[in-house]
Amino acid sequence: MPTKAANKELDESLLQTFTDKLQENRDKQEARHEIITEALRSITDQLAGMNTFPPQPPDPLLRFYLSHDPSNPILNPNNLELPPHDGLEPLYWLFQAEQFFQFYQVSPNQRLQMVAFYMKGAALN
């Protein structure tokens, strides 16, 4: 049977191992947090630099043709789609989203709510 001193040494050794592992995991978590914080800061800076002008009312003649010529697949607004964002190439997707929202005259206040419907995979995490 181990002595009290041996048990105490074992307990202290296990405690030290546990403490070291906790510190290691904390360091990893802090590193991940810094990476995510920097990525968000970069995206925020890029978004702040985007030129967002209020949508201009469409040309009435163009609107007439768009609404009266469904056979033209290029000009038919029902064919425009915003592809779902999978987390890759965020700037390209943001450009497409901006064009999509401008075309459909979505107000800036509604855009953020709508974006969630166009996320998938890693973009949701």
Number of domains in the chain: 2
* 79: confidence class by pLDDT, cuts 50, 70, 90: low
Residues 65 and 110 in one domain: yes
Q: Any idea which residue has 């048990």 for tokens?
A: 7
Q: Angle formed by the axes of helices 4-48 and 90-103, to 10°? A: 40
Domain limits for position 109:
54-125
Residues 61 and 106 in one domain: yes
Residue pair 70/50 in contact (Cβ under 8 Å)? The answer is: no
* 118: confidence class by pLDDT, cuts 50, 70, 90: confident
Q: How many CB atoms lie within 10 A of CB 118?
A: 16
pLDDT more than 90, % of the chain:
17
pLDDT at 76: 55
pTM for this prediction: 0.39
pLDDT at 78: 63
Q: How many CB atoms lie within 10 A of CB 86?
A: 13
Residues 33 and 81 in one domain: no
